Amino acid sequence: MKAMLLTEYGREYPFAERDVPVPDPGPGEVLVRVAGTSLNPIDNKIATLGPALAFAPELPALLGMDMAGTVEAVGPGANRFKVGDRVFGCPGGVRGLPGTLAEYVAADERLLGRAPETMNLAEAGAVPLVATTAWLALFDKSGLQFGERLLVQGGAGGVGHMAVQLGVHVGAQVFATVSSPDKAAVVEALGGTPIDYKAMAVDEYVAEYTGGEGFDAVFDTVGGPVLDNSFQAARIGGRVVSTNTRSSHDLGPLHAKSLSLHVVFMLLPLVTGKGRERLGEILGLVAGLVDADELAVLLDERRFDFRDIASAHRYWEEGRAMGKIGVAVGA
């Protein structure tokens, strides 16, 4: 099969097309013909930082986390899917689990769900990581409830736009920070209220949208100073969830307001092998929402072929993408 292998870590993105053996599905695995994947910020982080991340694969590295495709073979003991099933998930792209920038991938069936029937299969490959991350943050971690006020930091981003929709789905009052009119339009179209964080300080938008009380739950998808802003924006006794806490922070505000802080590291089940069933369960629920027209993925107008994955990384670095960057693998 054809695969795109990264030969060196860094910002040069030296991917090379190689012919490699089609993997045999092992116990509990299925062989999937990949139709599409996507480029996530974590894919870029791995490609550039490499050894600085404990879960980065050894070189030459087969990267790519997202995937949607068709089951071609079933390994011993695997019983969730059969040949011909359309599936999607995040089965690899970390140390010990080859990624999806290839024509086939052998995937742990626990990490997969049935792909949405109403989506183009290649485009469905852009859904799993962002939707699963947002689900874990809002429901498994923060326990978001009907009627609560939710603030999503970075509401037009990959994970952020999924969180806005999931919050709306459960009946929360959803607000989201944005940096441009285009991104504000995205949040509005998804049912949320956009907040221009460049035009309003945290205390100003807390006063305007919560009467000064603060938000019940704040989901930080950015990290750094935005996490500090999230502590400021949460109400007394509120919950803050973050996907990016690899930095030092003053926890005084957390203590002063008796906040709870939760961290989402969606890749942990891939790295440790524990909790993989939960990711598959969430994907099944996500597919149901997509098919019910209650959840959509925002795809950037520019698409890439997996052979041109280096250009996709450079395009992401430029910061011009709106939503997910889709990468086609199949014909």
Q: What is the pLDDT of residues 121-140, one digit of tens each?
A: 999 999 999 999 999 999 99
177 and 239, same domain (yes or no): yes
Query: Would you say 22 and 60 are in contact if contact means Cβ atoms under 8 Å apart?
Result: no
Kindly state the average pLDDT of the residues 144-166: 96
Query: Would you say 325 and 122 are in contact if contact means Cβ atoms under 8 Å apart?
Result: no
Kindly state the average pLDDT of the residues 313-324: 89
Which long-range CB contacts under 8 A does 19-23 form with residues at least 24 apart? 20/62, 20/102, 22/103, 22/104, 23/98, 23/104, 23/105, 23/106
Position 255 scores a pLDDT of: 93
- Other Cβ atoms less than 10 A from the Cβ of 58: the count is 9
Cis bond before residue 25 (omega within 30° of 0): no
Kindly state the average pLDDT of the residues 58-82: 97
144 and 257, same domain (yes or no): yes
Query: Whole-prediction pTM value?
Result: 0.96
- What band does 83 get if pLDDT is binned at 50, 70 and 90? very high
- Other Cβ atoms less than 10 A from the Cβ of 180: the count is 13
Kindly state the average pLDDT of the residues 6-25: 97
158 and 238, same domain (yes or no): yes
- What band does 248 get if pLDDT is binned at 50, 70 and 90? confident
100 and 179, same domain (yes or no): no
Higher pLDDT pick, 14 / 331: 14
- What band does 331 get if pLDDT is binned at 50, 70 and 90? low
160 and 309, same domain (yes or no): no
User: Which among 234, 263, 292 is the end of a domain?
Assistant: 263
134 and 226, same domain (yes or no): yes
Query: Would you say 218 and 151 are in contact if contact means Cβ atoms under 8 Å apart?
Result: yes
Indicate whether 249 pLDDT > 80.
Answer: yes
User: Which among 263, 283, 305 is the end of a domain?
Assistant: 263
User: Which among 217, 236, 263 is the end of a domain?
Assistant: 263
In the chain, how many domains are there?
2
Indicate whether 78 pLDDT > 90.
Answer: yes
Domain extent, residue 225, equals 130-263
- Per the prediction, the chain carries an average pLDDT of 96
68 and 100, same domain (yes or no): yes
75 and 13, same domain (yes or no): yes
Indicate whether 45 pLDDT > 90.
Answer: yes
216 and 287, same domain (yes or no): no
Position 137 scores a pLDDT of: 98
d(CA 135, CA 43): 20
Burial of 263 (0-12, 13-18, 19+ CB in 10 A): middle
Q: What percent of the chain has pLDDT over 90?
A: 94
Indicate whether 239 pLDDT > 90.
Answer: yes
- Other Cβ atoms less than 10 A from the Cβ of 199: the count is 9
Query: Would you say 8 and 277 are in contact if contact means Cβ atoms under 8 Å apart?
Result: no
154 and 229, same domain (yes or no): yes
